[in-house]
Each structure stands twice: as C-alpha cells, then as structure tokens.
Structure 1
Amino acid sequence: MTSDLRTRLLLMLVLPLCLLAMVGVWLDYRSADEAAVQHDQRLLRLMPALADSVLAPPIHDNEPPLLLLAPPIEDFLRLNAGFSGYSVRNTAGLLLLGDEWVNGTVPTTQAPEFHSVEYGGVTYRVAVQRGRTGAGELVVALADGSDPRQKWAQQLLLRVLLPNLVLLMAAGFAIHWAVRQAFKPLVVLAEAVERRSPRDLSPIDEAASPDEVRPLVHSLNHLFALVNAQAEGQRRFVADAAHQLRTPLAGLQAQVEAWAMMAKAAAPSRSLPSDFDKKQPPTQEGQAQGAIVLGVDQIEKLRNATRRTSQLAHQLLALSRADARSLDAQPPQRVDIKDLCESLLETFLDAATGKGLDLGLDMQPVHVTGHGWLLRELLSNLVDNAIRYTQPGGVVTIRCGLRLGRTGLPKAFVEVEDDGPGVPEDERARVLQRFYRVPGAGGEGTGLGLAIADEITRVHGATLTLDQGPHGRGLLVTVRFA
C-alpha cells in the first residue's frame, strides 16, 4: 500500500516538474528566437552602410571596386573579430570584395534575404541584399556568428537539456526521500498492527499518529472495541454455559454410575436366559432376568451419554479458558514437562489397560515457560485422543525432551504417538478446527480435543504438527516449543 502511494506521489510530483522543464526549454527557445529576430534587424540596419562603403567602380578591369568601410561596418567587424565577415559580388555572383565563404544565391529583387552558413565550426547568420552602390548594382552580404538562436541550437545539450535533467533527478531523489520520511509513521503503524497477536485488541495510541492518519486509527480502535466486545461476550457465554453444565452433569453422571453398579450386581450374567428368545412365552423368572439385562444395557448407554456430555462441557470450558485474553495478564511459570508426562501416565493408565493398550513413556528432563494447567490440558487431550481411537492391543507412547531445531539450537518438544487409524494427510489441517471429525472415524469424540491442543499451543508460541505414525500407520502429534 505505502509503496504504491509513494510511487503515485512521486509520479504526481515529478511529472509536473517534467512539464515545467519542457515549458522552460520552450521559453528559452522563444527568448533565443526573439533575440535572433533583433539580431536580424541589426544586420538589416547595417546593410545600407555596407552598400555605401563601395564608393566607385574599379579603374582597371582586373581590379576590385574602390571600398571604404563605413564606421558602423568597421565597428561591427572589429567588435566581432573572428565571428563576422562580409562580401561584395556582382549580379553574376562573382566575388569582388570580402570573404569567399560569405556567399549565397543572388537575390532577384532588392528585398533582403537571410540564411545560415556553416564555416570553421561556427554557424553564421548571413544577410544578403541586392542594391545600388557607388560601383553600380551589386550584391552585398554581411555575416555574424553571434546569432543567439544558432548558439542555442549548438548548446542545447549543455545549456538546456543537461541542467534540466540534473534538476529533475535531484528533485526526484528529494521527493522520494521526503515522501519516504512523510510515510514513515504510516509504515511504523502498519508494522505495529502486523506484529500484534490475534488476541491483542487493545487500542492504538492516536496521539502517536499523524493528523492525517488519526481518522483511520480511530476507526481501527472502534473496530477493535467492537470485535473485542463480541469475542468477550462469546467467551463469557461459553465459559458460563460450560461451568453451569458441569455441576448437574457431574451429579447425573454419579447417579447413573451408581445405577450401573447396582444393575451389574443384580445381573450376574449379561446374557438373556435361554427361554427368552424362544417363540413360546418365557417363564416369569426369564422375563425378570431379561428385563434386568435390558435395563443394564440402557443404563450403560445412558452412562456413556452422560460421560460424553460431561467431557464436552469440560472441553468447552477448557477451550474458553485457553482462548481468553486474560492469560496475557497471568505470568508464565517454569513447567517441568517430565513430571507432567509422568502424572498423565498415571491418570490414563487405567483407561489404557482397560482397553488392552500398551501406554508407554519415553522422556528426558526438560522445562518450558508457560501455564502449567493449560499444558496439562493440552497433553490430556492428545493422550485421550490416542487412547480413544487406537484399537485394542495397540501402542500409545508419550515422549518429551530436547531436539535440535533448524537453527541448530535445542528446543523442547512433546510427542504423543499411536498406531491407530491415523488421520489422512488432506484432513490434518481440518481436524484442528473446532467440532470437526474425520468422516467415518470411530469412537465417541466431540471434535474439540485437537482444536483445544492447537489453541493452547498457539498461546505458548509453540507449533503443533500432525504426521504419520510408526510403520506407516497411526498418528504422531508433535508440539515444538520456541
């Protein structure tokens, strides 16, 4: 934007200067032309004096006419020595007196004629007139090499074009520098806005902006305020709704868990009695056992539904907290990733064992700066996803440590690797979106786990990447810290 404005301003200022330079050249030429007209008039006034200088015809045939230069002609030749000349010819064009190079066509009338002659590297203005003299009718010519118009044409490059070109170049550089300095506050403002975090919606200091840019800054601040209010309202709504749902859902889940345990205790066998499927009416005992088994199944489905709902409320609350701008006000702390991974291993060990998974830990001591509870939420979602989608008998591994980055410096990392179905390469960017699940994916996920992990990763200035797991299958999720 600014470079385009600079170019436009530069052109808008330089083009008028070019036009003014052309006008200056034209005016200079007109001035030289007017001086040349006056110069021609001067030569014309001297022509009668030159004709009067021829006093008498020659005494002998081979001799020139008698010549006595009139004072005006004598002064003219003396003052313009080396750049002037004259000639006297008869009507046949034969030179009688003066310089051979001062020539021209013989006029047919007595009206004066003017033309230019190149001689000795000098362009002369020559006036020729046919008239009566003391030696009869002759043709006199007077040449002057100080014609302003001829000098202007000869010195066009040095006197006119070159100075104007230098002036235009100097003006162009000066204008470019001035425009660049004038636009510097706008460039600084653009860079400051570009460097901002997406969550930083604080107003821009209007007093630090030029007067011409303040309306734009004021509009930006107004837009920031509207977006901030809307985002804050959405975050507050999600947080309040998730928080209000947690208590009744926790009570409902506890009640359903108690019902499930009581139903299991009352039904030693989960299979229906043998007479339940027969075409004849079952016995009273068979009906009772069948009702108990069906009740256990319904309670199991209700328990799974309440668990999913509780998990969704918990994830919504975590997402709202991870997205809140209030994190900027909370000072980051030193977090021991190794201890965090060990505690998560203990937390998810029962769930992995119950599904027949091998949950392992490959770790090195490593520390990062951040929010411990958010990093725990990040790893919890990654491990929970891996356990949820890995088939029984699979392997889930948690890794942490240091690894050399592109700059050659060691960087902290955390990985969660599984050998489950994985995520297709063309879906890896979309699974980081909220509530998106890969079509045909099994399990009972909500589509928020990876979105929460990605949001927490960005809060900590880290990067989250999805790759293929070991042996060409599964999923490898890596978080690299700056």
Structure 2
Amino acid sequence: MKWPPADAAAAPGLIWGLQRRLLVLLLLTIALIGAVSVVFHFQSAGAVALLKDQRLLRLVPLLADSVVVMNAAESNPALQDEPAASADRVEEPALALLLAPPVEEFLQEHKGMSAFGVFDAQGSQLLGEDWLPTLLPTTDDAEFLSVVEGGVTYRVVAQRMRSTAGELIVMLADGSDAQQHWASSVFTRVLLPNLVLFAVAAGLVAWVVARALRPLIDLNQAVEGRSPRDLSPISAESAPAEVQPLVASLNRLFGLVNAQTEAQRRFVADAAHQLRTPLAGLQSQVEAWAQAARSMGGGDLLSLRADQVLRLRDATRRTSQLANQLLALSRVDAMGGDEQAVQQVDLAELCENILGLFLDAASSKQMDLGLEIEPAQTLGHAWLLRELLINLVDNAVKYTPPGGRITLRCGRAHSPTGPQVWIEVEDDGPGIPASERLRVLQRFYRVPGTAGEGNGLGLAIVDEIARVHGTHLHLDSGAQGRGLRVRMALDAIAH
C-alpha cells in the first residue's frame, strides 16, 4: 500500500557521477600541485648546487695559496736549539698548511661533511684526506666529480694550480650538495608530505563534496521516490541557489501536467457520468422491447424486428458497460497513490456479495458459479476491491462457454514478508495464452480471435486497482491447464 516500490530507491547515478567527476578533478589538481612542487624542489636543488659549485671554485685558489714551504727548522722548532755547527747541514724544504680564513670557515661550517686534499703534479698526496681519489686534470680548468664515502655523496672539485710550493693539484669536497642528495631528500621533504597531504585532502574533499551535493542528492531522491501521479510542487527551500531555477522549472512543469491530467480526468468522469443516466434509461426500454418481441412470436417481419431489437439491446448493454468502466477507470486514476480512506475489508463477505450479483447471469448459461472462502481481512479501498471482483467475475461469465465452471476464492497465506491474504477468480473457459498475459492488461487491448463482445478495459481496470493497493496480478492457467486463474495478494491484518 506504500509508494514507491522497493526498487524505486535506487542509487542516484547522475549525482554520484557528478560527485566522482568533482573528486577526480580536485584530486588531479592536488596531484598536479605535488608534481609541480617536486619539479620546483629539483630546480631549487640545482640552483643551490650551482651556488655551491661556484663557492668551491672560489675556494680552490685560496686552498692552493694556503700551502706554504717551510725549511726544516721552521717546521721543527727543536732544531733551532742545535749548535751552530749544524748550520752547515743542507735543510730540506717542508710543506705546511696555513688555511685562509674563507677555507677554514668552509671546513668548520661543514665539519664532517667536507674534506680537502693536496697532491703534487704526479698525483702523490701531500696533505688531506686519504679517501680522496687521485685525479690528474690535464688542463688548468677545474673538474668536478661525485664520490661516495661513508654513505655520503661528496661533490669534489679538482684543479691544477701553481703556487709558491710549485705545481699542485688541490681538491675540495662538499658533502652537503643539495642536488647530490635530491633523490633521497625529495621523498622525505616533498613526496611524503605531498602523499600525506593527498590522502588527507582526498578524505576532506570527499566529505566536502558530499556535503555540498547533499541538497542535490536529496532533490534527486525526492523526485525519484514520487508516485507518477504525485505532481505536487517540490520544496526549493533547502536547494542551493544554483538549483532553485531548476526546481522552479520542474514545479511549473508539474503544474502544467497536473492541470492537463486533471482536465482529462474531469472530462472522462463527466462524460461517463453524463452517459450513464440516458444509457440506463435506453437500456431499460430496449430490454422491455426485447422481452415483448420474444413473447409475441409470429411471422418473418416480426422476427426481423425482434432480431433488430435484440441487437440494439446488446449494443446498449455494451455502451452502458463502457460508460461504467470509463467512470471506474477515471476514479481509479484519480486515487492512484492516495493512502487516505483505506478501511478494513472482509474479503470473504465481499466475495459473497459479488457472488449474488452474478447468480442470474451464470444460471442463464447453465454455469456452476461456486464460492470457496475462508476468513481473510486486509486494509484497502473497499469500493475498488468490489470493482475488481466485479470485472473479474463479469469477464469469466462472459467468456466461459455455457455449462462451464467459475470459482470465486479468498484465503490466507504466509510469505517471506509476512502474513498475506488473497482473492482469486478461476474459470475453465478458453483462457489467455502465456504470450498475451501482459498485453491483456493494457487498456482497450483484446486477444485476437476472442469470441464475444468487449471493450478491453476489464483487466486494465483490475490491474490499475492492484497498483493502487501496492501489489500486482498473477495470471495463470486454471485447473488441469484449462481456463484462466487471476489472483491478487494483499497484506493481511489480524481478525
């Protein structure tokens, strides 16, 4: 009895598609910013490395000038106290290192991350760290190389210089070069922070986007969960300003469709209502003529007139039935999705009342119209359920051959969703082929080759009534594969 059906609460694909696009675009923007940061960091490391290379180049000449030549006495003060006789001895020169202030400041500033070396022209080391490589520049230009020592990558410059101590090869190493350590530092300084930022931003962006799109999702669910007949305006109070024009357009469209639908319903209802009274009077007159024509008997002329009156009677009956069905269909359409005016309905009592309406029609065709009922109560529109049974029994009486069998049933059953009640009409007439059972529920559709007169509205009305009650019809073959059985299940209530 509730609308919408269970499958109407489907995921709003359009909204989620928009949310995914926003997430992808925002996260791609964050990723692009991270990539630009990596490139910028690399360029900054290159600029710093260039400055450090230039500093090393400036310090190399100062390191060469720091190498001085001293005689033995100057290099060893103990020899200064020896007797003068020893002055006749040949003194061998010695090299000493008197660091220039800029070189000393560099070594102190990068203590543990810097080194120097002094080599003679042939590559023999005179001063400095032993791990420095032997590099013999062929020109006076400085040469750079990278050396790994103790897990530290050093930027080493070597240059052949001429000094007071002769031709020397001096080396200066710097282990704090940003570009040499870029590959290892970029992860801790750039990639790792950006990855953390990306993860945090992804969560925040997903939350913010979901919050921002919540009004759209609510609007989508409000429209998705509506009955097709619910054309009331949508509230635009909670909708964002950008969506309010869309809501206003939808409301205008709903208003136009609702006005057109109401006009159509009023026309059908008024037309059917206006036709009922004159058709009822006409039918009563024709019924009287038909009965009089039968009772008079007589010649061919009278028989011809009697046949014409009978055909007129049948046409009047069909027209009157059509007007009643159109009126019923209009009322069912108007009540679609309306949960008001429901009441407790005793299906057993309803079946008994309907049976009494068709006893005469069934007897005239020598039919066995039976009743198999048990206590069954539900909530629904009593007059609609009555109209449903009238249409089902009327169809069974109309299309079942004389001498046939029709049974009206109701009962209780259990289902996975809870206790249910059901009503059923079964006959042993020609039935409906399985391939046609869906099509016969369409309005004004009749199975090709069907005998008798009809408007194709009976089962359409029954199906519409079932929809109003939140259920559907089951069409199947009757007993022993003959005829037609139509069943409808409803929610049960305690009795």
Q: TM-score, normalised by structure 2?
A: 0.89
Counterpart residue identity of residue 111, structure 1: D
> How far 1:326 moved relative to its partner?
8.5
Gaps of 5+ in 1: 268-287
- Does residue 1:300 correspond to 2:310, yes or no? yes
Match of 1:96 in 2: 126
How big is each residue's C-alpha offset from its partner over 1:281-319, in whole Å with a ceiling of 9 and x where there is no partner?
Answer: xxxxxxx61112222222111111111111111111111
Q: Give the residue type in structure 2 aligned to 1:370.
A: G
Q: Which residue of 2 aligns with 1:33?
A: 46
1:11 Cα deviation from its structure 2 partner: 1.8
CA distance in 2, matches of 1:133, 1:327: 105
Match of 1:446 among 431, 452, 455: 455
Q: Please, what TM-score do these two structures have when normalized by structure 1?
A: 0.91
Please say if 1:478 is aligned against 2:487.
yes
Alignment match, 2:5: none
Unaligned runs of 5+ in 2: 1-13, 73-89
| Pairs within 5 Å for 1:35-434 | 35-56=48-69, 65-103=95-133, 105-267=135-297, 289-325=299-335, 328=338, 330-407=340-417, 409-434=418-443
Q: What code does the residue aligned with 1:417 have?
A: E
Partner Cα distance (1:201, 1:38) in 2: 74
Residue 437 of structure 1 corresponds to: 446
Instruction: Give the CA deviation at 1:76.
Output: 2.9
Secondary structure of 2:180's partner?
Answer: helix
Q: Deviations over 1:310-342 (max 9, x none)?
A: 111111111111111488385212121111100
Query: Is 139-148 or 97-106 further displaced after alignment?
Result: 97-106
Maintained 8 Å contact 2:444/2:456: yes
Do 1:338 and 1:366's aligned partners in 2 also have CA atoms closer than 8 Å? Answer: yes
State the AA in 2 paired with 1:307.
Answer: R
* CA separation of 1:31 and 1:326: change in aligned 2, threshold 3 A: closer
Q: Give 1:62 deviation, angstroms.
A: 11
CA RMSD of aligned residues (A): 2.1
Is the contact made by 1:464 and 1:479 (CA closer than 8 Å) also made in structure 2? yes
What is the alpha-carbon distance in structure 1 between the residues aligned to residue 92 and residue 226 of structure 2? 104
**Quick check: 1:203–1:221 contact (8 Å CA) kept in 2?**
yes
My pick for the range that moved more, 118-127 or 65-74, is 65-74
Number of the residue aligned with 2:467: 458
2 CA distance for matches of 1:128 and 1:84?
A: 14
Aligned to 2:410, the other structure's residue is in SS state strand
How far apart in 2 are the matches of 1:19 and 1:128? 41
SS of the counterpart of 1:149? Answer: coil
In structure 1, what is the Cα distance between the partners aligned to 2:213 and 2:56?
Answer: 60
- 1:243–1:154 CA distance, 2 compared to 1 (3 A): same
Any conservation in 2 of the 1:315–1:448 contact (CA below 8 Å)?
Answer: yes
When residues 361 and 39 of structure 1 are mapped into structure 2, their CA distance, relative to the original with a 3 A threshold, is same
- 2:446 counterpart SS class: coil
Query: CA contact under 8 A between 1:58 and 1:66: conserved in structure 2?
Result: no
Following TM superposition, by how much is the alpha carbon of 1:12 offset from its aligned partner in structure 2, in angstroms? 1.8
**Residue from 17, 24, 35 that aligns with 1:22:** 35
Amino acid at match of 2:290: A
Structure 1 CA distance, aligned partners of 2:277 and 2:92? 140
Per-residue CA distance 1:112-153 (angstroms, 9 max, x = gap): 222211111000011111111222111100101111222323
User: Structure 2: which amino acid aligns with 1:465?
Assistant: H
User: How many Å separate the matches in 1 of 2:111 and 2:94?
Assistant: 23
Question: CA–CA distance in 2 between the matches of 1:180 and 1:428?
Answer: 45
In structure 1, distance between residues paired with 2:94 and 2:361: 135
